[in-house]
Structures are given as C-alpha cells and as structure tokens.
Amino acid sequence: MRAHLAFAAGLLLTASIAQANQIGPISAYYVADGDASKFCKIQGTSFSCFNEVGDQDVIAVLSNSVEMMGRVGSNGAQYTLSGSPTGITYPAVGGYPDDGTTDNTNSYYLDWPNNNVYETGLNWSNPTFLFHVGSGNGAIGIAYDPTNGSFWTSDLSDGHIYDYSRTG
C-alpha cells in the first residue's frame, strides 16, 4: 500500500510540474529581436510575434503600450499591447542602445559597448547620463526593480547579474 501511495503521489507531483511547465508567464512578457526586426509577446502558452517598423531592439512596456527605441539611425515606434503600430515614432538616439526598461515615469536604456545607463522621457527623448556600469564589457540587459528603485543588469562577458542604485 505504501508503494502505491508513493507512486500515486509521484504521479500527482509529476502531473503538477508538467502542468506548471505548460502554463508559461501569467502576465504578458515581451522580447525584442532587432536583428529579425520583430518583437514577440509570450503569455501562458501563447506566443505571438510582430513586425517592427524599422530597426528597433530596445523595448519598454508601459501599462497600455510597447515603446521601441530606434537603433543605428532608425526611428523608434510605439505599438499597442497586441503588436499593432500606433503611428507614433521617436527619433533614434546616438550610440548603440542594447536594452531598455521603464518605471512608468521615465524610460532607461543601456548603451553598448560603453556600458552607460541613460534616463529618458517615456518616448525615449532627452537622454541624460545616469551612471556607468562597472562590470565587464558585455553589459547587455537592464531591468528596473520597483521594490527599491534599483537597476539589474546582465553582463555577457562574465555571465553575472548586478544590482545598481540610481547613482551606480
């Protein structure tokens, strides 16, 4: 009897894990693939990709829109949460912005390869230098942490994730 209960418990646990793996993110999760000129929305088991208007790779998701920053001379653009361009565009910023985030008051981006973090308006306007990311030379990801107002960055060159205050 004990072996049957252990087997049944194992099956139940396996089924629960399998179902959890199939659920995917509960909230919408957006990722950009600038090289393919697409961005994608992942939610639950649904995966949808949308064509970008130009070469855009830096993404920030607001409560009612997706804001894409232009790279290397290409304008940025605003999209609905379902991936349709709204017709609103933004001029490109200089350098090579590699990733972006927002606190819903401002947007922020990480410029590669100089590893500088900039603050902008929600439409990517008026970039202001915030701080230099002191990790290796491969800082490629940034996320805003609303629990303490800090920024998490990932570094491709050393494989680490770092937590920085607004002043670096």
In three-state form (DSSP H/G/I as H, E/B as E, the rest C), the secondary structure along 104-155 is CCCEEEEECCCCEEEEECCCCCCCEEEEECCCCCCEEEEEEECCCCEEEEEE
Q: Are 142 and 129 in contact (CB under 8 A)?
A: no
Using CA atoms of 48, 120, 112, 137 in order, give the dihedral in degrees to the nearest 10. -110
What pLDDT, on the 0 to 100 scale, is given for residue 49? 87
CA angle 21, 26, 31 (to 5 degrees): 90
What pLDDT, on the 0 to 100 scale, is given for residue 42? 87
Of the ranges 57-66, 91-100, 119-128, 154-163, the best mean pLDDT one = 119-128
13-22, 32-41, 107-116, 132-141: range with lowest mean pLDDT: 13-22
Report d(CA 15, CA 109) in Å as an integer: 41
Strand duo 107-111 + 97-102: pairing: antiparallel
- Provide the whole-model pTM: 0.75
Q: Which residues contact 95 (CB under 8 A, 6 or more apart)?
A: 111, 114
What pLDDT, on the 0 to 100 scale, is given for residue 73? 73
pLDDT confidence of 22, banded at 50, 70, 90? Answer: low
Q: Are 141 and 110 in contact (CB under 8 A)?
A: yes
Give the Å distances, CA to CA, from 128 to 19, 23, 33, 96: 45, 40, 25, 15
What pLDDT, on the 0 to 100 scale, is given for residue 21? 54
Q: Is the pLDDT of residue 77 over 50?
A: yes
Phi, psi (deg, nearest 5) at residue 108: -135, 145
Of the candidates 100, 42, 106, 107, the residue with the CA atom closest to the CA atom of residue 71:
100
Q: Is the pLDDT of residue 163 over 80?
A: yes
Report d(CA 124, CA 62) in Å as an integer: 13
What pLDDT, on the 0 to 100 scale, is given for residue 52? 83
What pLDDT, on the 0 to 100 scale, is given for residue 6? 33
4-8, 32-36, 83-87, 151-155: range with lowest mean pLDDT: 4-8
Q: Which residues contact 159 (CB under 8 A, 6 or more apart)?
A: none
pLDDT digits (tens, 9 = 90+) for 87-140: 998 887 777 788 889 999 999 998 877 889 999 988 888 899 999 987 566 778
Count of CB atoms within 10 A of residue 153's CB?
22
* Average pLDDT for the chain: 78
